Amino acid sequence: MRMSFPSSRSLRVMALCATAVSAAALAGCQSGQTSAPLAATNDYRLRHPIVITEQAETLDLPVGQSTRNLNRDFAERVTEFGQASRRNGNGHVEILVPSGAANEAAVHAVTPRIRSALALGGVSGTHVSTRSYPVDDATAQAPIRLAYTRIKASAGPCGEWPANIGGSLNANQDYYNFGCATQANLAAMVDNPADLLGPRAMTPADQMRRATVFQKYRAGEQTASDYKEGDGASVSDSN
């Protein structure tokens, strides 16, 4: 039996025809002319991308003029802040103390206690730095601010309506603010923003478990858990 195959030129023509038909079908779903592809202009992930940036994590401590020590609650918060800086940042904490405020004497008395609380959280020595910030009002009682830099994910801002919502619906496109809240909530919920950039590195295999499986395999024993038919919950017949 002789079989005939289309030539390479025929294949190219067929491919071009299929592409033209697909483009015409997609164009039929869109009323209105756009300079960019529909997928690019109508994708909320491109309009409201999740951005990974370095941002400051802060903790403000109110200090009264008569304060000379940290109470237990504030000391525990500072210790936890130091632990978080090691877990989420590079382990370096900056102490910003007010200069020219009414509570300046109290601030200098409390700062060593803050360093001690940070040390309990694993942050001490060269990993703690102190810097002052000016206060214009001499009668104000300015707080002490602790800060460290961490990687954060964010999206938005949301709630912007640059165009008439009716016009976008008539053009068979999502309105501009569509999907922004979803992107912002996803960025806020991710525990480690680096997971949005790529998968984590694989952890080493469990050598003890692997040796146990190989030993059972050589001995002809079952290497996996034994599941017996009928095990599990039972349903009683009330009739």
User: pLDDT tens digit string along 82-109?
Assistant: 999 999 999 999 999 999 999 999 999 9
Residue 74 covered by a domain: yes
Residue 208 covered by a domain: no
Residue 178 covered by a domain: no
CATH number of the domain at 101, please.
3.30.1330.60
Count of structural domains, the chain: 1
pLDDT digits (tens, 9 = 90+) for 137-166: 999 999 999 999 999 999 999 999 888 887
Residue 176 covered by a domain: no
Q: Is the pTM of this model over 0.85?
A: no
Close Cβ partners of 183 (under 8 Å, ≥ 6 residues apart): 44, 45, 48, 49, 50, 155, 156
Residue 118 covered by a domain: yes
* pLDDT for 111 beyond 80: yes
The CA R_g of the chain, rounded to the nearest whole Å, is 32
Which domain does 106 fall in, by range? Answer: 55-150
Q: Residue 37: is the preceding peptide bond cis (ω within 30°)?
A: no
Residue 94 covered by a domain: yes
Residue 210 covered by a domain: no
Residue 134 covered by a domain: yes
